[in-house]
């Protein structure tokens, strides 16, 4: 069994301005995001991960930096291009209010598996690369949890797949800044242990139950 913790970056200046940041360089955390990042240092606590994979974008590094500084160990950290933000192409940096007026916005919301961003990538391509990273980190040797620090749409695409949802349904999921989502995998089966938790602390001394018969016994993280 492996446990994978998915962390969305904290609130960014693009979130604050209601912009679709994409891969635009220089997008840092907002003041609120900085506070969230400091809180994450306590929320994650002394958990030891077998591997920490982070998106190469600035806002993800700034999110995890306070925790890395507090534990003093970045030896298991890898920068993973496969979990970087969606390449939104010419939509990058545009206001969400202006993008909502585009005809393709309805495709993004209702049929995302069909969306290819102008001069960018498709959401299906994003999901494929994100899952490649998810299963790679899942296969890392060790009995400890693994941490993946990424972006909202990337995490939604991973969760949707693990729940057996078609990508066209992934907009039903909400992943907030600085939220923690936990997935246990065992023998090819994935179970959602925690979803979009913006306040709770990690408590990973025990993995989730290997069987769901009878429901949870209360040993899973809360």
Please give the pLDDT value at position 155.
98
How much is the pLDDT for 204?
60
Q: Are strands 180-186 and 2-8 parallel, antiparallel or unpaired?
A: antiparallel
Do 155 and 63 meet the contact criterion of CB atoms below 8 Å apart?
no
Both tokens of 219, joined, read: 């040993």
Domain assignments of the chain as residue spans, ordered by start: 2-197
* Structure confidence at residue 73 (pLDDT): 78
Low-confidence residues in the chain, pLDDT < 70: 204-222
Choose which CATH entry (3.30.565.10, 3.20.20.100, 3.40.50.720, 3.40.50.1240) describes domain 2-197.
3.40.50.1240
Residue by residue, what is the 3-state secondary structure of 175-218?
CCCCCEEEEEEECCEEEEEEEEECCCCCCCCCCCCCCCCCCCCC
Q: What is the pTM of this model?
A: 0.91
| For the chain, counts of helices (H) and of strands (E) | 7, 6
Predicted confidence at residue 75, as pLDDT, reads 86
Q: Which parts of 45-139 fold into alpha helices (H)?
A: 58-71, 96-99, 104-110, 123-138
Amino acid 4: pLDDT:
97
């Amino acid at each position: 069994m492996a446990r994978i913790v998915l962390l969305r970056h904290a609130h960014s200046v693009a979130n604050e301005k209601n912009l679709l940041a994409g891969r635009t360089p220089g997008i840092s955390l907002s003041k609120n995001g900085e506070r969230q990042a400091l809180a994450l240092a306590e929320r994650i606590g002394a958990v030891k991960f077998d591997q920490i994979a982070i998106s190469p974008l600035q806002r993800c590094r700034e999110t995890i930096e306070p925790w890395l500084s507090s534990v003093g160990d970045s030896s298991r950290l890898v920068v993973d291009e496969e979990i970087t933000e969606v390449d939104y192409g010419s939509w990058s940096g545009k206001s969400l209010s202006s993008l909502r007026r585009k005809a393709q916005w309805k495709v993004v919301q209702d049929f995302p598996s069909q969306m290819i961003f102008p001069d960018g990538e498709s959401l299906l391509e994003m999901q494929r690369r994100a899952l490649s990273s998810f299963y790679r980190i899942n296969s890392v040797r060790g009995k400890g949890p693994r941490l993946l620090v990424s972006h909202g749409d990337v995490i939604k695409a991973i969760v949707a797949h693990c729940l057996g949802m078609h990508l066209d349904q992934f907009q039903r999921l909400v992943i907030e800044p600085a939220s923690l989502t936990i997935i246990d995998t065992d023998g090819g089966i994935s179970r959602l242990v925690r979803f979009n938790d913006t306040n709770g602390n990690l408590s990973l001394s025990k993995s989730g139950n290997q069987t769901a018969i009878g429901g949870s016994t209360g040993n899973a993280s809360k």
